[in-house]
């Protein structure tokens, strides 16, 4: 496929969370932990954090202690480079590495209830922290690949991510405001899904909407996109678990 790069890349001064485009009721739902349906997953994740698992009979807390301290700011720094795998990994993949290597337990399936719960719980500890992807030169090739994919026209509709989220943000599409497409709220609860979901699920939905080929959850293509999106949104506050339409 040919690459078509947008000419209206976001400036830092233009960065705008999808929260800004929410209606009053949806904002209130996100702001109130007792009304935010994503908090049910966070509570489940709290239990998973303390639960012993695997051949080592260890919990996350056995290694990391109180998540409120040890996990503060962690999700704001992912995706990050993993030396053993020699590639960029996202937070879900880091969780599974801990499960297989430290707990000697079975990895969670991508998009499974326990994976989303533990990811949401860890993400919740960084709420309000600015997205701060690592300034690691080893990440650059993955960021560049994600940027190329973001700007690539795909599918039967011959559209790119950038055409919506760089060139036409704040405009209307089918009655909805086009957001800038930032990752700062994930995992988040979508009213459309009536459930919590990962950024990769949302990327998959976009590809389906473009009538383009999707990738397997956890694929390098999705992680590359996540790596670029984190850099693109640098400085926005973590909102996990956000609520979106």
Catalytic positions: 206
Specify whether the CB–CB gap between 107 and 163 falls below 8 A. Answer: no
Pairwise CA distance, residues 74 & 30, whole Å = 21
**In the beta sheet, which residues pair with residue 196?**
189
Task: Count how many Cα atoms sit within 13 Å of the Cα of residue 153 in the half-sphere of its side chain.
Answer: 10
User: CA–CA distance from 193 to each of 37, 180, 201, 243 (Å)?
Assistant: 12, 20, 10, 11
Q: Residue 45 in contact with residue 91, Cβ under 8 Å? A: no
- Helix or strand or coil: residue 191? coil
Helices then strands (H, E): number in the chain? 10, 7
The count of residues in the chain is 245
Question: Distance between CA atoms of 118 and 239, rounded to whole angstroms?
Answer: 16
What are the distances in angstroms from CA 66 to CA 46, 122, 187? 10, 11, 21
CB 98 within 8 A of CB 60: yes
């Amino acid at each position: 496929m040919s690459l078509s790069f947008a000419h209206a890349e976001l400036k830092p001064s233009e960065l705008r969370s999808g929260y800004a485009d929410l209606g009053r009721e949806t904002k209130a739902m996100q702001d109130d932990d007792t009304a935010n349906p994503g908090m049910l997953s966070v509570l489940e994740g709290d239990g998973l954090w303390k639960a012993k698992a695997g051949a080592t009979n260890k919990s996350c807390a056995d290694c990391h202690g109180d998540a409120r301290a040890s996990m503060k700011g962690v999700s704001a720094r992912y995706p990050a480079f993993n030396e053993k795998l020699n590639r960029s990994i996202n937070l879900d993949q880091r969780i599974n590495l801990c499960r297989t290597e430290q707990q000697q337990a079975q990895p969670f399936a991508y998009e499974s209830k326990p994976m989303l719960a533990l990811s949401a719980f860890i993400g919740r500890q960084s709420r309000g922290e600015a997205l701060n992807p690592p300034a690691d030169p080893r990440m650059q090739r993955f960021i560049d690949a994600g940027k190329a994919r973001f700007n690539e026209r795909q599918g039967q509709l011959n559209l790119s991510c950038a055409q919506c989220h760089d060139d036409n943000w704040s405009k209307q599409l089918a009655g909805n405001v086009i957001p800038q497409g930032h990752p700062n709220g994930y995992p988040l609860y979508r009213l459309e899904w009536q459930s919590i979901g990962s950024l990769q699920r949302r990327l998959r939905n976009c590809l389906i909407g473009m009538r383009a080929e999707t990738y397997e959850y956890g694929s390098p293509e999705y992680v590359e996109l996540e790596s670029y999106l984190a850099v693109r949104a640098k400085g926005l506050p973590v909102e996990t678990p956000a609520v979106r339409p």
